[in-house]
Amino acid sequence: MLAAPALAAQTVPIDIPAEPLAQAVVDLARQTGSNIGGVDPARCAAPSRAIRGAMTARAALDRLLRGSHCRFDQPDADTFVLKLRLPPLLRLPAPHHEEIPADAPTEVMVTANRRLQNAATAASAISVINADTLARRGGDLSDVAAQEAGLTLTNLGAGRNKILLRGLSDGVFTGRTQSSVGLYLDEAPITYNAPDPDLLLVDMARIEVLKGPQGALYGEGSISGVVRLVTRAPDLSRFGGSLNAGVGLSDQAAASSRWDGVLNLPVIKDRLGLRVVAYSDEAGGYIRDVSSGQTHINNVQRFGSRVSALWRVNADWSVSASQATQHINAKDSQYVSGNLGAYARDLIVREPHDNDFNQASFDVQGRTGLGTLKLSLNHLHHHLDSRYDASPLSGQYGLPATTELIYDQGQAVELTTRELTLVSPSDQRLRWLAGVFSAQSTERLTPRLTELTTRRPLYSEQRHDRITTLAAFGELSYDLTPHWTAVMGLRQTDTRHDLDSHIETETIGGDHDEQISDRASTVRLSHQVTLRYRPNDTATYYLQSGEGYRGGGFNTTHLYGTPAVPVRYAGDELNSYEAGAKLRFPAANLQLDLAVFKAYWRDLQSDQLQADGLPVTVNIGNGVNTGLEVEATWRPVPALTLKAAGLINEPRLTRPNPDFVTSEDSGLPYIARQSFNLSADWQRPQGQAAWRAGADLIWRGRSHLNFGPLQNIEMGGYAELGFYTSLESDTMRVNLRLENALGADGNSFAYGNPFSLGLTPQQTPPRPGTLWISLSRDF
């Protein structure tokens, strides 16, 4: 959902004294609700001037930059990007200009905490992935996740992955458990108990990653944090857009391709605008089938679009709406089995996957005498279909061992949410927010086991879940002194879950029908308490205690004679205690973010596999994780930026469920005890353009697949190296990107087929080394 900009495009009172530009742009962002980033303002050599009066953020920034070495771009109504003045691409002769600095530590305004805040001073662990990083390092969340400390994605395939934060994993399988990380498209939640829809990140303003349990602000489904995909809003002032096309080449995979286009159309200048995004992406396959000799069997096609509209009703009120659609068609799974080679599998049955995503949202936002009022409405339709080779189940039906069986699972989710919030002005000593939330979720699950040759159904289920949620939440922030701030947040949630399931099973003894109906209700109160200390403009320290939770549910899917155990599973709860520091060293061009945390996870829900390979959700025990997160950005010289992000943690399982885990301290699945990323970005003028280059090194430590007997299957223990280089002007970019330059083929995600997992070794290697060549043009 597109959030209407708070103040950025409005005419508002502005009062900025004559001060250095670096401080002036921070004051301007705060007073107008805009996001101002880009080059270090100190490089602009702007004269200090006072700006006072009623005007838009654009007009004020234009005055601040007059006579300086900088200009600015406005990619959306909320965002301004400072740039050193470059000559047009074809202007000759080119005037002399100084070195263009790489992205420097700048002030980034975020809204992940439900209020416009400076990420560098917010009393919480917030990471921001900017649009520049997304554009040069691929368009998937998985492409950039490893650059953020504590952010991890599994690797089952496009549209099938789980997002994990802070080393808090409930397992790598995707079953009945609700998502542990809340995924939002602007203001709209877009996951419940389905995998990440894997939206292609085209025309994004940024990604905000809010770590730690967020039950007080976001409710269920945010037990370990929140990821917000923030799109670019329509620009009401000018016509424009972009075109991008690229091709990926590899000697071990089929060719890949991607194109996208963006069109910004101001229908009524400064009042009404549209923004349209369209894209198509094809990931060439790299798995071969040794039995048939087929190659590249796991080809994936993805295409989608997004349309957004913004209406500036008047200086105080705005209305926005958006609609997003995406379709993923994966021809086969991307795991390998046996000892047939790094990218080989003996294929019996193709295992395709389809993921169809449709979402629509509507926002009204405006200023009242009490504060900013926002009404957000959202409707989501998410449909998934998966197929697995289930031939190992033939013996349970008295069929010959050579009988080929297929297991098809369909899942259709309809989610409607409504939220109303009122947020007080940010320039008061006592600040507050209050909100109400409601959600209705309807899910239909249709697993089906069929004999491949005869198409005879052996098992089928029609399951229907209806979940209704009502919540009220609020937060108070109070400046105890000029340096100390206390924050308290609470959320009361009432949830009702209704279940109806009809199961039909065919066995040697005849057909059997089973009807299951049940209901559960839960009421939860969650909290978050924060204490912030800011002794000066370059240091922020905080202590935080937060809580997250998920509701319980029901297990129904089972073969005849082997009922699902347990029939019910309880809700789980996570309490986290965190201490953090955000330090800025202007003289050294260094910023450093540190967070130490300890999380206690009670009655941890986990999707497991029954003996027959069908999923079941259980409370696996209690989990504990202690960790240190580090993120650092250093610019030793104007043209070079170095970044590092790392997580050192010790995930443990205590009080284990003896039916699935035989010992304590078993760790948590898919969570390495050490992981880190190092990156370098360098740029300099090149004729009439700018030449940029960079490298990324990602280390993924060893971890295990899951609890219990599968714990012996290891993942990780390998490094991935990537490079990019680009030539950029004001309107054109040519980019080369080499992914997995080291050719790492270690096990990134060991789960492929649940029915044969215990019979033959399985692993999922990273995508082979691929060289991407792309061309972009702005207009």
Residues shown for the chain = 779
Cis peptide before 93, with omega less than 30 degrees from 0? yes
Three-state SS annotation for 638-672:
CCEEEEEEEEEEEEEEECCCCCCCCCCCCCCCCCC
Report the C-alpha gap between 242 and 203 in whole angstroms: 9
User: Coil, helix or strand for 28?
Assistant: helix
Contact by Cβ (8 Å): 621, 608: no
Place of tokens 């009490």: 370
Report the C-alpha gap between 318 and 303 in whole angstroms: 30
Report the C-alpha gap between 706 and 154 in whole angstroms: 13
Provide the pLDDT for residue 176.
Answer: 79
Q: Which of 98, 204, 129, 92 is nearest to 690 (CA)?
A: 98
Q: Which of 779, 763, 773, 772 is nearest to 343 (CA)?
A: 763
Report the C-alpha gap between 401 and 690 in whole angstroms: 64
How far is CA 420 from each of CA 48, 364, 417, 437, 738, rounded to the nearest angstrom?
A: 41, 10, 10, 7, 45
Q: Which domains does the chain have, with CATH numbers?
A: 225-664+678-683 (2.40.170.20)
Provide the pLDDT for residue 710.
Answer: 59
User: Coil, helix or strand for 135?
Assistant: helix
Q: Which of 5, 77, 20, 40 is nearest to 641 (CA)?
A: 40
| Helix spans in 480-571 (H) | none
Provide the pLDDT for residue 114.
Answer: 81
The set of residues, in sequence order, having a beta carbon less than 8 Å from that of 293 and lying 6+ positions away, is: none
Q: Phi/psi at 24 (nearest 5 deg)?
A: -65, -40
Other Cβ atoms closer than 10 A to 759? 11
Provide the pLDDT for residue 89.
Answer: 32
DSSP string of 211-248, one letter each residue: ES--HHHH-TT-SSEEEEEEEPPP-SS--EEEEEEEEE
The set of residues, in sequence order, having a beta carbon less than 8 Å from that of 455 and lying 6+ positions away, is: none
Contact by Cβ (8 Å): 769, 740: yes
In the numeric block, which tokens belong to residue 592?
A: 């450093």
Provide the pLDDT for residue 745.
Answer: 85
Give the DSSP letter of residue 168.
B
Q: Phi/psi at 666 (nearest 5 deg)?
A: -85, -5
Contact by Cβ (8 Å): 493, 467: no
Q: Which helix (H) or strand (E) holds 547?
A: strand 539-550
Q: Mean pLDDT by 10-residue block, N- to C-terminus, for the chain (779 residues)?
A: 48 76 80 79 74 83 84 81 58 31 51 79 86 78 82 87 88 81 92 86 92 92 92 90 95 93 94 96 93 90 96 92 97 88 86 95 93 95 94 84 90 95 90 96 94 90 95 96 95 96 79 89 94 94 95 84 78 95 92 95 86 82 93 92 93 81 66 89 84 91 72 78 90 92 83 82 89 93
Q: Which helix (H) or strand (E) holds 62?
A: helix 57-65
Cβ density class 550-583: b for 16+ within 10 Å, e for less:
bbbbbbbbbbbeeebeeeebbbbbbbbebebebe
In the numeric block, which tokens belong to residue 352?
A: 């395709």
In the numeric block, which tokens belong to residue 556?
A: 């129904």
Burial class (CB in 10 A: 0-12, 13-18, 19+), 383: middle
- Number of H-type helices and E-type strands within the chain: 5, 44
> Residue type for 368, please?
T
Report the C-alpha gap between 776 and 728 in whole angstroms: 9
Provide the pLDDT for residue 42.
Answer: 66
Q: Which helix (H) or strand (E) holds 145?
A: helix 141-145
Burial class (CB in 10 A: 0-12, 13-18, 19+), 620: buried
Place of tokens 């000029």: 482
Provide the pLDDT for residue 91.
Answer: 31
Provide the pLDDT for residue 407.
Answer: 93
